[in-house]
Amino acid sequence: MDISIIVPLYNEAESLPHLYEWIARVMKENKFSYEVIFVNDGSTDESWKVIRELSADSKPKAVVHGICFRRNYGKSAALYCGFKAAQGDVVITMDADLQDSPDEIPELYRMIKEEGYDLVSGWKQKRYDNALTKNLPSKLFNATARKVTGIQLHDMNCGLKAYRNEVVKNIEVFSEMHRYIPYLAKNAGFTKIGEKVVQHRKREFGVSKFGLNRFVNGYLDLMTLWFLNKFGKQPMHFFGLVGSLMFFIGFIAVIVVGGMKLYALSNHVQAMLVGVNPYFHIAILMMILGCMLFLAGFLAELIIRNSPSRNDYLIREEV
């Protein structure tokens, strides 16, 4: 099979027939064999009924699969299940709201197959969203993501992406990490990541399912991914280093405070009691926190040592 198209959705019953008809036309024009995987993320409208009808009308070269969650789990969960089910050589993800154009699929497919990209992300250079609530925060978010991940994409969270099948089978999308799939792919060793300017269309039906809280959550998720990538296998390198530095600084500070007191006593100079000196308490606190961080790193190492995935490594090929 040439292409698997994964469409996560939540309450998009009005858009689905139009989207599928558009996809089918593009696939027929380019003579692709394909499947469309609709992942219904706990919709409360008629979305699942529409998906069942589309599946019943599937053609031999155009299989429609439907996956229906019992409740709303989020886009990451939908993509995870879609990736697991995908069988095409190239996997395309797109939103169900008709803001992503299926006409982009042939070029995305070509970039994967002919130019050898592992992943190609869409870039909605000209957007029709609200400039204050979406465009500006999105630019700040992407600038931060580029700095932290080292991946020079203008629109990392674009729903329209193309992947080599091997990529989606070797990454795990969890929590709300769908925003950082290129970073997940890079961490898994798929480093040839490209970008393509794609058309962004105005929403025709329904309303957006994402609020401003996605930017706060996105920042926290980015920090989580950065930490897991850098110290996930060796947490002692972070906690042990920081803890040791804090303990050392606190220990030196205690010695300095005690030395100053002894110096004052030896010169018969009135000095503040060590017990009421704020620097003494700060130094003791730093020593305690340093010990706690060091022990946290030690416990994390013990947990990883007993983890069944401690020796999971991605093998590219064997001869």
**What does the pLDDT read at residue 245?**
93
Statement: residue 34 has pLDDT above 90: yes
Query: In what helix (H) or strand (E) does residue 26 lie, and over which residues does it extend?
Result: helix 16-30
Q: State pLDDT tens for residues 130-185.
A: 555 566 777 888 888 888 888 999 888 899 999 999 999 999 888 788 889 999 99
CATH code of the region 3-231: 3.90.550.10
SS3 state of residue 198: coil
Find, among 75, 152, 165, the residue nearest to 121 by Cα. 152
Mean pLDDT computed over every residue of the chain: 86
* Domain positions in the chain: 3-231, 236-305
312 φ/ψ angles, rounded to the nearest 5 degrees: -85, 110
Specify the pLDDT at position 211.
56
Instruction: Write the single-letter amino acid at 250.
Output: G
Q: In angstroms, rounded to a whole number, what is the distance separating the alpha carbons of residues 66 and 20?
A: 13
Mean pLDDT of 216-229: 78
The pLDDT score that the predictor gives to residue 303 is 82
Confidence of residue 77 (pLDDT cuts 50, 70, 90): very high
pLDDT over threshold 90, residue 202: no
Q: For residue 157, give both structure tokens.
A: 């969270």
Contact 198, 101 (CB under 8 A): yes
Q: Which two tokens stand for residue 108?
A: 């995305």
d(CA 90, CA 102): 14
Q: What span, in angstroms and rounded, lies between the C-alpha atoms of 104 and 26?
A: 9
pLDDT value at 275 more than 80: no
190 with 167: CB under 8 angstroms?
Answer: yes
Handedness of CA 180, 123, 203, 138 (dihedral sign): positive
pLDDT digits (tens, 9 = 90+) for 81-124: 999 999 999 999 999 989 899 999 999 999 999 999 999 999 98
Mean pLDDT value of segment 49-70: 85
Least confident of 55-69, 115-129, 303-317: 303-317
For range 276-294, the mean pLDDT: 89
